[in-house]
Amino acid sequence: MRDIGVPYSRLPLPTPGERDDPQAFLAWLGEAIPMVKYLGIREMRWEGEALVWELALSPSLNDKGTGFGGALAAQTTLLGWCWTTLWLRERSHARDVVVAEAGQRFLAPVTDDYRLTCAPERGQGQAALAERLASGGRGRIALTQQLWCGGTLCLEAHGDYAVLPAR
């Protein structure tokens, strides 16, 4: 059981220029954020610059037998946090990330297992973030998350993630 107010130990950074092993990161994440173990995440992988989760619907069912909006919103927010954290780690930055703004549009009910994707919103987002971090300050990036149930886009979310100054 985690103690309230006590930060969890960071995962060692990968070799500069390399990405974390997604499954090892997911295992660490389940310890660092206990609710992760109950989200139904089956797989985490990169597809180009998009971070992708494959999820089981059963842990996130609502009273109607479809996806519970609150659980789906939490998953999109966490996926954006993971994208930003992993992007930083690949560049040898051990920095804290927080969600600054988040919003969702629910487009169709989630009726089966699903896929969540997360990628930067603007073409210059990564370059602008890297530039801000190089100057030693805080940075921010806008990300889009999409939830796909088969070929149906069921949810689109947008989030701004802030990278805090180094401690």
17 belongs to a structural domain = no
Q: State the SS3 of 102-145.
A: EEEEECCCCCCCEEEEEEECCCCHHHHHHHHHHCCCCEEEEEEE
Number of domains in the chain: 1
The Cβ of residue 39 has, within 10 Å, a number of other Cβ atoms equal to 20
Q: Is the pLDDT of residue 165 over 90?
A: no
Question: What domain range is 129 assigned to?
Answer: 22-163
Q: Within a domain: residue 106?
A: yes
In this structure, is residue 86 part of a structural domain? yes
Does residue 7 form part of some domain?
A: no
Rounded to two decimals, what is the model's pTM?
A: 0.94
Is there a domain that residue 6 lies in?
no
Q: Taking 80 as the threshold, does the pLDDT of residue 12 lie above it? A: yes
Q: Mind listing the pLDDT tens digit for each residue in 73-130?
A: 999 999 999 999 999 999 999 999 999 999 999 999 999 999 999 999 976 688 889 8
Alpha carbon 166 to chain centroid distance? 20
| Res. 9: pLDDT tops 70 | yes
Does some domain include residue 1? no
Residue 73 lies in a domain: yes
Q: Give the count of beta carbons closer than 10 Å to the beta carbon of residue 159.
A: 24
- Is 30 within a domain? yes
DSSP state of 151: T
First to last CA, the chain: 26
Q: Which residue has the higher pLDDT, 5 or 16?
A: 5
The whole-number pLDDT of residue 124 equals: 67
CATH for 59: 3.10.129.10
